[in-house]
């Protein structure tokens, strides 16, 4: 009965959601699994077929990271954000309270930011997410150790230990973390998430553990033809990301804090 209420409520709220959402939902409602599969980039599909679950603990021989070439990040495109929402079940969030308040309370793992240089007026676009620092402030401050860095460099939250104190959100210089302000329904098996815990981008950790090649945002950016985000192993000198990092001038956001972020930006 309770669920029915939620259902009607959420249908009411659907018109507020961006058009893309509605269109996608409608599409998925009608399209069968097969035709949907055809939409996915072939490479991605092949990878997931070949994927096998990890049997050994992750090691520090790899360090996952992203390189974002802001020159290629297109204005008005939010494919990476939508892909992330789909991948992690964030599009299943049911808006609560007033719309303006919900904008600040909903969980966001990746967002688009548009910047203007105060001196030159130059405009820059970029996606911003957890920067996967080598020395993450969120891990330092977490009282229970729920906020932790995996051996392969992924900074994430162990929701079993998270008590929802939100100190990590106070400490993060990138505002990368979100608190789950409401009950969740219909979570995805691969991405458990629930009320009262903090969460953030985990570089699609379930994809990492099944040996897939990239993240949802990267795939979406490739599919849009922008290729603004590169994912890979920062410790492997032959990986695409390492090669691109050697070619392109890049920097970290808030370099002054010397956190050695795993996400690097070119052209900002």
Binding residues among 139-168 for another protein as defined by CB under 8 A: 139-146, 148, 150-152, 156, 158-167
Among 92, 226, 242, 243, binds another protein (CB under 8 A): 92
Integer angstrom CA distances of residue 155 from 64, 101, 129? 10, 28, 11
Residue 23 found at the interface with another protein (CB under 8 A): no
Stretch that binds another protein, among 63-71, 208-216, 227-235, 239-247 (CB under 8 A): 208-216
Residue 213 found at the interface with another protein (CB under 8 A): no
Nearest distance from C-beta of residue 73 to another protein, angstroms: 13
CA distance 132 to 152: 10
Residue 81 found at the interface with another protein (CB under 8 A): yes
Residue 251 found at the interface with another protein (CB under 8 A): no
Stretch that binds another protein, among 55-63, 64-72, 233-241, 244-252 (CB under 8 A): 55-63
Nearer to another protein, 104 or 246 (CB): 104
Q: Cβ-count burial of 243 within 10 angstroms (0-12 exposed, 13-18 middle, 19+ buried)?
A: middle
Residue 30 found at the interface with another protein (CB under 8 A): no
Spell out the SS3 assignment of 87-102.
HCCHHHCCCCCCHHHH
* Cβ–Cβ under 8 Å, residues 147 and 138: yes
Residue 62 found at the interface with another protein (CB under 8 A): no
Residues belonging to the chain? 268
Stretch that binds another protein, among 37-45, 63-71, 225-233, 243-251 (CB under 8 A): 37-45
Taking alpha carbons only, the member of 210, 228, 208 closest to residue 219 is 228
Residue 238 found at the interface with another protein (CB under 8 A): no
Kindly give the interhelix angle for 216-223 and 79-87, rounded to the nearest 10 degrees. 140
Nearer to another protein, 13 or 243 (CB): 13
Residue 104 found at the interface with another protein (CB under 8 A): yes
Over the range 198-213, which residues count as b (16 or more CB within 10 Å of their CB) and which as e? Answer: bbbbbbbbbbbebebb
Binding mask 166-195 for another protein (x = CB under 8 A): xx-xxxxxxx-xxxxxxxxxxxxxx-xxxx
């Amino acid at each position: 009965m309770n669920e029915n209420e939620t259902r009607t409520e959420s249908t009411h709220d659907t018109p507020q959601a961006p058009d893309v959402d509605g269109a996608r939902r409608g599409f998925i409602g009608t399209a069968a699994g097969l035709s949907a599969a055809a939409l996915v980039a072939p490479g991605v599909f092949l990878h997931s077929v070949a994927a096998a679950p990890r049997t050994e603990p992750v090691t520090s021989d790899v360090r996952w990271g992203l390189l974002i070439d802001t020159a290629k990040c297109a204005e008005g495109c939010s494919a990476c954000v939508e892909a992330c929402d789909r991948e992690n079940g964030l599009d299943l969030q049911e808006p609560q309270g007033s719309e303006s308040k919900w904008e600040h309370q909903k969980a966001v793992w990746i967002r688009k930011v548009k910047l203007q240089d105060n001196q030159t007026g130059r405009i820059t676009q970029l996606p911003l997410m957890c920067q996967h620092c080598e020395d993450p402030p969120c891990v330092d401050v977490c009282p229970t150790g729920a906020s932790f860095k995996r051996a392969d460099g992924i900074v994430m939250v162990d929701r079993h230990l998270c008590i929802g104190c939100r100190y990590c959100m106070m400490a993060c210089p990138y505002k990368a973390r979100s608190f789950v302000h409401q009950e969740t329904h219909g979570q995805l098996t691969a991405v458990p998430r629930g009320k009262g815990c903090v969460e953030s981008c985990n570089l699609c950790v379930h994809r990492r553990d099944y040996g897939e090649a990239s993240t949802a945002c990267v795939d979406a950016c490739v599919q849009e033809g922008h290729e603004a985000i590169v994912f890979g192993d920062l410790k492997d000198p032959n990986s695409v990301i390492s090669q691109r990092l050697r070619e392109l001038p890049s920097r970290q956001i808030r370099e002054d804090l010397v956190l050695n972020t795993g996400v690097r930006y070119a052209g900002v």
